[in-house]
Amino acid sequence: MMGFFIFGNIKPPCMHLDDSELLRDFRQPGTKERAFTAIIKKYQEKLYWHIRRMVVDHDDTNDVLQNMLIKVWNALDNFREDSQLYTWLYRIATNESLTFLEQRKKRASVSFGDVEEGLSNKIVADKDFDAGKLEWKLQLAIQQLPEKQKIVFNLRYYDEMPYEEMSRVLETSEGALKASYHHAVKKIEEFIKNN
Amino acid sequence: METKNTILQEVAQISQDVANIGNHNVYTAPAGYFDNLPAQVLAKVTAGNVAVGQVTPMPYNVPDGYFDGLAGNIMAKIKAQGAQQKNDIFFDAVIETQFPQGLPVPYSVPQGYFADLADKVIAKIKIQHNTVEADLASDAFFPLINAPYTVPQGYFNSLAGTVLAKIKAQQNNEVFAELEQIAPLLNTISRQMPYSVPQGYFEEFTVNTTVEETEAKVITMNTHSRRRWVTWAAAACVAVLAGIGAFLYNNHSAVGGGVTADSNKTINVDQAIASVSTSDISDYLNSQPSTGAEVQPTSLEDDVPDVQTDIDETSTQDIQQYLKDNSEPDEKQGKDI
């Protein structure tokens, strides 16, 4: 787990700053850290939950989020702004989550199906898990999906992301995304009805 | 008179006896009755629905002897008022004589009080005015103007966020409508994540950007090489079988009746092969375990019930995209940003 570095008692600037302003401040040496902190505060919860829906465990989520934001720190200077900042952040978070799961699979020398079973077990092992609640059944159902369908479903269902934005995040055509979402929803519905 | 006589003549023509009676009035009225009659009738008419002859009693009581001493009391008061006026005049005259500058006031006033009184009053007015202006911009304004309504604390602070959330909700009806068509059940499930987050996590979250990121060591398992070995082994087996088959075919066609010790063996093999039917050969081959990639029989109906449906519903472009997306992981390296 990455160590923490406290930036003193610096209070982040207003979170309602425009992304372009934050990027401009980030590129100035004197305001770089403050702008980066503001970007984190602005998007941390969204990115956190996007990652956690993939990896389930909080500690794993924290690791992935930290790694992902370090990459952002290193690469933000070269961000071309040809897409929205949050689209770019989502793309990094998605790839970082997939990389994490892939590495876990290799480390455990198990098939990816077993990794999914492990994630389902983690859900069941959560201290707040309640098998009678539909929200928990939904999480179990999501873990049954193939990776791509899982990401598409999460982005559409939870983040309510338009297909146009999603295609930029996942670099996939809108038609393929719609098909993935449709199949994912059907599978989830079937899982919930059968369980 | 002419009318009266005409009537008498008429009665006489009818009955002389009746005409002889005369038309004298035999009834009498009380003395003076008709003198007061008009006034009495008018008084009763103006009194309303009062029956003739009835008197409505007054609801008020008057103390006994009130009217008897009324006149004397009024005169006494008149006389007393006149005496008071005389005393006031006397009092005023005395005051004017003794205190030509007015009666002395028993209270004292601080020195210079009146000198800066106007400035003090104006200053207080200004303070009150500023206070009112300040309160106009805050929630305390309403109590100052005694408004009958109150606003929940912090209402205006969260108003912008509430309105934006509602606007966003209207825009996101598209997602809701889409899900309603595919699986309405999912629209009934709360979108709030059931996972718990450690308290204060987001408030204390920071990123250590000064630590160099170390690439995690990726230890490749031999799964891929195993797959490749299996593939090559299967290809080798097929090649060997083909070679054996070709070898046997050539020997069979090249060697005629002459046999050697080896030929005996070959001929024996040829004879053995020739004596075996084609169905037996295929059964034998199928019964032998393959050294190549084994294809486990699967039941499409049991494991993947909707594959055919998925394939039918998926376009060629989507399939190509799917294949591209699900290619080997090592082909994905370098695609992070």
Q: Which CATH architecture has domain A112-195?
A: Orthogonal Bundle (1.10)
pLDDT band at A7 (very low <50, low <70, confident <90, very high): very low
How close, in Å, is residue B142 to chain A by CA atoms?
30
Least confident residue range of B7-11, B44-48, B231-235: B44-48
The answer to whether A156 touches A182, Cβ cutoff 8 Å, is: no
Angstrom distance (rounded) from CA B291 to CA B232 = 10
Q: Residue A5 pLDDT > 70, yes or no?
A: no
What's the domain count of chain B?
A: 4
Q: Where are the domains of chain A?
A: 16-109, 112-195
Q: Which residue has the higher pLDDT, B17 or B27?
A: B17
Minimal CA separation from A3 to chain B, in Å = 7
Residue with the two structure tokens 């090249």: B254
Q: What whole-number percentage of chain B has pLDDT above 90?
A: 3
Q: Which pLDDT value is given to residue B103?
A: 65
Flag whether B123 is in a domain.
yes
pLDDT, tens only, B218-230: 666 655 556 678 8
Question: pLDDT-derived band of residue B293, with 50, 70 and 90 as boundaries?
Answer: very low
Cα dihedral angle (A114, A90, A56, A143), rounded to 10 degrees? -50
Contact flag B196-A179 (C-beta cutoff 8 Å):
no
State the pLDDT at residue B334.
Answer: 40
- Quick one: tokens of B41? 């009738």
pTM of the model: 0.46
Query: Which residue type is seen at B307?
Result: V
| Residue from A2, A46, A34, A63 nearest A165 by CA | A46
Average pLDDT, chain B: 70
Residue A11 has a pLDDT of 41
Question: 3-class SS at B149?
Answer: coil
* pLDDT at residue A44, as a whole number: 92
User: What's the rounded Cα separation, in Å, for the pair B208 and B212?
Assistant: 9
Q: How far apart are CA A129 and CA A75, in angstroms?
A: 38
Report the amino acid identity of residue A86.
Answer: Y
Give yes or no: residues B240 and B278 share one domain.
yes
- On whether the CB atoms of residues B136 and B147 are closer than 8 A, the answer is no
Q: Which domain holds residue B282?
A: 224-291
Q: How far apart are CA B261 and CA A131, in angstroms?
A: 77
How confident is the model over B21-32, as a mean pLDDT? 69
Contact A45/B at CB under 8 A: yes
* Cβ pair B162, B170 in contact under 8 A: no
Instruction: Pick the most confident of A64-68, A108-112, B299-303.
Output: A64-68
B321 with A176: Cβ contact below 8 A: yes
Task: State the burial class of residue A189 (Cβ atoms within 10 Å of its Cβ: 0-12, 13-18, 19+).
Answer: middle
Same structural domain, B172 and B115 = no
Spatial contact of A132 and A160, defined as CB atoms under 8 Å apart: no
Average pLDDT, chain A: 86
Residue B20 maps to a domain: no
Rounded Cα–Cα distance for residues B55 and A7 (Å): 104
Q: For the residues B140-152, what does the mean pLDDT come to? A: 61
Q: Model confidence at B333, in pLDDT bands (50, 70, 90)?
A: very low
Highest averaged pLDDT of the listed ranges B118-132, B151-165, B195-209: B195-209
A92 falls in which pLDDT band (50, 70, 90)?
very high
Matching residue, tokens 């499930």: B189
Buried-state track B279-299, b at ≥16 Cβ within 10 A, e below 16 = eeeeeeeeeeeeeeeeeeeee
- In chain A, the percentage of residues whose pLDDT exceeds 70 is 87
> Given a cut of 70, is residue B1 above it in pLDDT?
no
**CA B206, B212, B213, B216 torsion-angle sign:** negative
pLDDT at B183: 92
pLDDT in tens, A116-127: 677 888 888 777
Q: What is the pLDDT of residue A135?
A: 87
Last residue of a domain, one of B187, B206, B233: B187
Q: Does A158 touch chain B (CB under 8 A)?
A: yes
Average pLDDT over residues A134-143: 90
Shared domain for B112 and B92, answered yes or no, is: no
Is A116 within 8 Å of chain B by CB?
no
Question: What is the C-alpha to C-alpha distance for residues B186 and B45, in angstroms, rounded to an integer?
Answer: 88
pLDDT: is A107 or B307 the higher one? A107
More confident site: B50 or B207? B207
Is residue B165 domain-resident? Answer: yes
> Which of A96, A130, A188 is facing B186, going by the closest CB pair?
A188
Angle at B156 between CA B153 and CA B162, to 5 degrees: 110
Point out the residue among B194, B205, B336 whose CB comes nearest to the CB of A95: B336
In this structure, the answer to whether residues B132 and B181 fall within a common structural domain is: no
Residue type present at position A44:
Q
Yes or no: domain A16-109 corresponds to CATH 3.40.50.300? no
Token pair recorded at residue A149:
């369908």
End-to-end Cα spacing for chain B: 141
A60-64, A95-99, B25-29, B206-210: range with lowest mean pLDDT: B25-29
- Residue A82 scores a pLDDT above 80: yes
Question: Mind telling me how many Å the CA of A79 is from chain B's nearest CA?
Answer: 9
